[in-house]
Amino acid sequence: MKDLKELFYKTIRSISFALDAKDPYTHGHSLRVTLYSLILASKLGLNDTALEEIETAGLLHDIGKISIPQSVLCKKDKLTDEEFEIMKSHTGNGAKMIQNIKKLSAVASWLKSHHERWDGKGYPCGLKGTDIPLFARIIALADTYDAMTSTRPYRKALPHEIAIQEIKRCAGIQFDPELAEIFVANEAEIKAAKDNPEEYYDKLSFLQKYINTAAEILKLNK
């Protein structure tokens, strides 16, 4: 079971790294989104199973971008309406890629919904408020913060402080207001994770802790 868990975890990590490698501007994006999602989820007091699921969802949240042409994914200018529709398809495509994997069936719905908005003006289904799955609302916040604080082909990264102000402004519009409040209240930890993602991931990763614990148990049993 330890070997299967480790294989599953390493496969998820490899897929997320491969995805980020498609676009040099998104290097490390999936890892950071996972980190911010784990921090937010932990403040909600979610159990270990939920934290494992949110970690998996964070690592895979953009897997649907594998299907997006490089010319669209890495375009330096503003996307045309047609190109934006292609880009938006990554949410549904990501869900389709994993929905038939039993362990990831719930994760698939969160991947599909992580670009929905609290006011119902998101995509692909225009879900509103608590109709959006909780984990998708968590990832939406983490994803947007990382997008704002990362350099992209069309703009430079925004300072942490500006991104936090934007999250405050969009609470109750784009984001779940309660989650946005918790995110802002823990901005110091969010920034620390942004500045040292690998170090923080070793501390927060539920999947990695499971592997380490299982390895220790095996040693004791030998």
The residue to which tokens 């942004």 are assigned: 194
43-96 confidence digits (pLDDT tens)? 999 998 899 899 999 999 999 998 899 899 888 888 999 999 999 999 999 999
Range of the domain at 7: 2-221
pLDDT for 38 beyond 70 = yes
* The predicted structure's pLDDT at residue 91: 96
Helices (H), the chain: 2-21, 29-43, 48-60, 70-73, 81-88, 90-98, 105-113, 134-148, 160-170, 177-185, 187-195, 197-204, 206-221
> Within 10 A of 13 (CB to CB), how many other CB atoms are there?
18
What's the rounded Cα separation, in Å, for the pair 25 and 173? 27
Is the pLDDT higher at 179 or at 2?
179
> Within 10 A of 48 (CB to CB), how many other CB atoms are there?
10
* The predicted structure's pLDDT at residue 146: 96
Q: How would you label 202-222 residue by residue, b for 16+ Cβ within 10 Å and e otherwise?
A: eebbbbbebbeeeeeeeeeee
The total number of structural domains in the chain stands at 1
What 3-state DSSP class applies to 147?
A: helix
Dihedral-angle region of residue 96 (phi above 0 means left; psi in -120 to 50 means alpha; beta otherwise):
alpha
Q: If you average pLDDT over residues 2-23, what whole number do you get?
A: 74
pLDDT for 213 beyond 70 = no
Dihedral-angle region of residue 120 (phi above 0 means left; psi in -120 to 50 means alpha; beta otherwise):
left
Q: What is the CATH number of the domain that holds 20?
A: 1.10.3210.10
